């Protein structure tokens, strides 16, 4: 069997294009989140996305269109709880994520008609992605990546010393809002790749892996992007040929890269 014959399938082409863009977005953004110790926000917003997707299915709307504004608002609420209520970041994430998962469970229990659809969003199904989902994912990924590049210096400053960045004239409030909103968008887009249960893996594992072996901040971003995109491509191929869930396979490939980088670091 010719391995390259898989490229002839349209659903594989859409999965590779969509998965690669989302991987680049999540891995580059994840470096900032990991270094700022905000990596758990991805997991918290994934729980919120479960509730928002259940709401969309309950109301009869396309779930992603409901999830995007709901999760973005939730990300701002997390930030406001930290700023106004003097609550630690992990506690604020826990409060909002608990609300999201509880709402999702209640909606799922009172409506039996969409449990199968909800299950598909829990674990992802990138091989069944539609044209509209592909276009939306690529468009939003490009917009966020361009904004990250535009505000790179400001993001870099608040990542390592937010107080100094504020004194230096950086609008830290705006940058923090950008960061959580971008994370919300990344979480929503990644749902189709790995599902709400594993979405935080795309934000955390590639950056952590790159930080094991990189020698600078920019190189850590590039390595994270390359590893993440490679894991998506390999995960799609492996899952297709041996018939196992694609999202879980992508995460396992990411974990394999992490273990290899950990061993390399120990050897050095």
DSSP per position, 37-48: T-THHHHHHHHH
Q: What is the pLDDT of residue 247?
A: 84
Q: What is the pLDDT of residue 136?
A: 84
Q: Is residue 68 part of a domain?
A: yes
Continuous H helices in the chain: 10-35, 40-59, 63-84, 89-110, 115-123, 131-150, 152-160, 162-167, 172-194, 199-213, 217-242, 246-267
DSSP-derived letter for residue 126 is G
Q: Is residue 150 part of a domain?
A: yes
Q: Is residue 51 part of a domain?
A: yes
> Residue 264: CB partners within 8 Å, gap ≥ 6?
212, 213
Q: What is the pLDDT of residue 254?
A: 92
Please name which of 185, 178, 232, 180 lies closest in space to residue 205, comparing C-alpha atoms: 232
d(CA 221, CA 217): 7
Please name which of 257, 121, 101 lies closest in space to residue 189, comparing C-alpha atoms: 121
Q: Is residue 4 part of a domain?
A: no
Distance (Å) of CA 265 to CA 4, 235, 258, 262 = 34, 24, 10, 5
Q: What is the pLDDT of residue 224?
A: 92
Q: Is residue 3 part of a domain?
A: no
> Residue 107: CB partners within 8 Å, gap ≥ 6?
51, 54, 55, 57, 58
Q: In the structure encoding, which two tokens stand for residue 17, read together?
A: 């294009």
| Spatial contact of 258 and 244, defined as CB atoms under 8 Å apart | no
Q: Is residue 26 part of a domain?
A: yes
Per-residue pLDDT in tens (0 to 9) along the chain, 268 residues: 456 667 778 888 888 888 888 888 888 888 998 888 877 888 888 888 888 888 887 887 878 888 888 889 988 888 888 777 666 667 778 888 888 888 888 887 776 655 556 667 777 778 778 888 888 888 888 888 898 889 888 888 888 888 888 888 888 888 888 888 888 888 888 887 777 767 878 889 999 999 888 888 889 999 999 999 999 989 988 888 888 888 888 889 999 999 998 888 888 7
CATH of the domain at 95: 1.10.3470.10
Q: Is residue 99 part of a domain?
A: yes
Q: Would you mind telling me the total number of residues written for the chain in this entry? A: 268
The count of structural domains within the chain is 1
Domain containing 102: what range? 12-260
> Residue 138: CB partners within 8 Å, gap ≥ 6?
17, 18, 21
Q: Is residue 5 part of a domain?
A: no
> Residue 18: CB partners within 8 Å, gap ≥ 6?
126, 129, 133, 134, 137, 138, 192, 193
């Amino acid at each position: 069997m010719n391995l390259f014959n898989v490229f002839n399938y349209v659903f594989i082409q859409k999965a590779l294009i969509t998965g690669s863009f989302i991987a680049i977005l999540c891995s580059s953004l994840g470096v900032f989140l990991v270094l700022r110790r905000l990596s758990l926000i991805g997991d918290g917003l994934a729980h919120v996305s479960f509730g928002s997707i259940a709401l969309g299915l309950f109301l009869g709307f396309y779930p992603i269109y409901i999830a995007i504004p709901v999760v973005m608002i939730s990300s701002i609420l997390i930030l406001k709880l930290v700023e106004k209520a003097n609550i630690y970041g992990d506690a604020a994430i826990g409060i909002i994520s608990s609300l999201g998962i509880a709402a999702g469970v209640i909606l799922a229990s009172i409506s039996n008609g969409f449990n199968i659809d909800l299950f598909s969003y829990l674990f992802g199904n990138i091989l069944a992605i539609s044209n509209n989902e592909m276009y939306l994912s690529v468009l939003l990924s490009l917009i966020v990546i361009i904004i990250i590049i535009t505000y790179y210096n400001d993001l870099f400053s608040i990542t390592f010393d937010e107080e100094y960045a504020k004194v230096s004239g950086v609008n830290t409030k705006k940058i923090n809002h950008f960061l959580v909103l971008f994370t919300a968008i990344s979480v929503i887009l990644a749902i189709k790749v790995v599902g709400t249960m594993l979405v935080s893996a795309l934000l955390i594992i590639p950056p952590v892996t790159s930080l094991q072996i990189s020698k600078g901040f920019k190189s850590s971003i590039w390595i994270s992007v390359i590893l993440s995109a490679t894991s998506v491509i390999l995960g799609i191929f492996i899952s297709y040929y041996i018939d196992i869930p694609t999202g879980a396979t992508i995460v396992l490939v990411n974990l394999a890269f992490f273990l290899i980088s950990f061993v390399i670091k120990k050897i050095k």
